[in-house]
A = this chain, B = another copy of it.
Amino acid sequence: MPDSDSPDEETGFFFHHVAIIGIGLIGSSVALALRVNGFEGPISIADRNGEALREATELGLGTSYHTSAAKAVSGADMVFLCVPVGAMGATARAIAPALSKTAIVTDTGSVKGSVARAVSAAIPDKSRFVPGHPIAGSEQSGPRAGWATLFRHRWCILTPTEHTDPAATDVVAAMWRAMGANVEIMDIEHHDLVLSITSHLPHLIAYNIVRTAYDMETVTEQDVIKFSAGGFRDFTRIAASDPTMWRDVFLNNKTAVIETLGRFMEDLAMLQRAIRWGDGEQLFDTFQRTRNIRLSIIEAGQETAAPDFGRPRF
């Protein structure tokens, strides 16, 4: 049988038994995406949250369910860590003794530097660890939030460490492509910097503006809710994201976030000054520059041009 006829070649899944640790939005989407795209082997699922595990069982996301992460990885040759960034190290230490020698370990954490260090230090063979981050998600969490096509036409960034075996990276890359994603290989540091501006800072700012609105003594919550269609509601979606996940992101990407945030605050101070002094030209020039980037995002298939994000028109 020629190689190209083997099931692996057909599906892009060069492994036989998957373990998913942490069955939230991302873990459940991975489980669904594997199945929908032709992975037929066992999927062992672990979560410390009993309710999440029960929901995953009801949804039939896997073939076995465990409160012990170590039990879930036993026999698996592809292990997915889908817990919050701050729990990656402890999770890796918990599974380390039970990992099979051939298992590849990968993760989906939104920060890569701290996760790469913590997981590499914990597992027996760091050449088998391929850090990863799918740039797709939503503000929902838990196993019911996942969907099979979450990763389609989205980017998944892999950030192999200096120890990672390139063959392991290839297997993980093929898997993400099989789930419909585009794969980008990137330096860990560059990942953490790029994501600090395209993801972490937007979340911080969204959380912050909702808080600022809450705390205005002379503007009621009712005012904010009723008149949110003026722009505010666009920020509330990402400010509804999981607090644990995002606390961990900021604690673990401190350097890049503080650098990016510093630049943002400087730029904002300049706009503040332009408003105070009535410098319409500077305001206009700043606002003028930003339109094209949206068009490019739409062209790149990372956004829809539907008016109002396809919100229902009554």
Interface residues of A in 200-259 (CB under 8 A from B): 200-216, 218-219, 221, 223-241, 243-244, 246-248, 250-251, 254, 257-258
Stretch at the interface among A13-21, A63-71, A292-300: A292-300
CB-nearest residue of chain B to A250: B275
- Work out how many copies of this chain go into the complex: 2
Q: Mark A251-277, 1 if CB is under 8 A from B, else 0.
A: 100100110111111011101101110
Q: Which of chain B's residues have a CB closer than 8 A to the CB of A214?
A: 289-290, 293
CB of A223, distance to nearest CB on chain B (Å) = 5
Q: Which among B211, B235, B241, B293 is the interface contact of A221 at CB below 8 angstroms?
A: B293
B149/A271 in contact, CB under 8 A: no
B276/A155 in contact, CB under 8 A: no
A230/B195 in contact, CB under 8 A: yes
A287/B243 in contact, CB under 8 A: yes
Q: Which of chain B's residues have a CB closer than 8 A to the CB of A90?
A: none
A226/B257 in contact, CB under 8 A: no
> Known: A263-B215, A268-B265, A297-B233. Contact between A240 and B290, CB under 8 A?
yes
Q: Which among B267, B280, B291, B297 is the interface contact of A215 at CB below 8 angstroms?
A: B267
Q: Which of chain B's residues have a CB closer than 8 A to the CB of A233?
A: 294, 297, 302-303
A283/B212 in contact, CB under 8 A: no
CB-nearest residue of chain B to A291: B240
Q: Mark A171-202, 1 if CB is under 8 A from B, else 0.
A: 00000000010001000001001110111111
Task: Determine if A61 is an interface residue (Cβ-Cβ < 8 Å).
Answer: no
A205/B275 in contact, CB under 8 A: no
CB of A282, distance to nearest CB on chain B (Å) = 9
* Assembled-state Cα–Cα distance A265/B260 (Å): 15
A197/B219 in contact, CB under 8 A: yes
A216/B260 in contact, CB under 8 A: yes
A237/B294 in contact, CB under 8 A: yes
Task: Determine if A59 is an interface residue (Cβ-Cβ < 8 Å).
Answer: no
Q: Which of chain B's residues have a CB closer than 8 A to the CB of A274?
A: 250
Q: Which among B138, B193, B250, B287 is the interface contact of A247 at CB below 8 angstroms?
A: B287
Q: Which of chain B's residues have a CB closer than 8 A to the CB of A223?
A: 194, 198
A sample of 13 inter-chain contacts (CB < 8 A) reads A139-B294, A149-B314, A197-B232, A202-B231, A208-B268, A210-B293, A229-B302, A233-B297, A235-B235, A250-B274, A258-B272, A304-B312, A310-B310
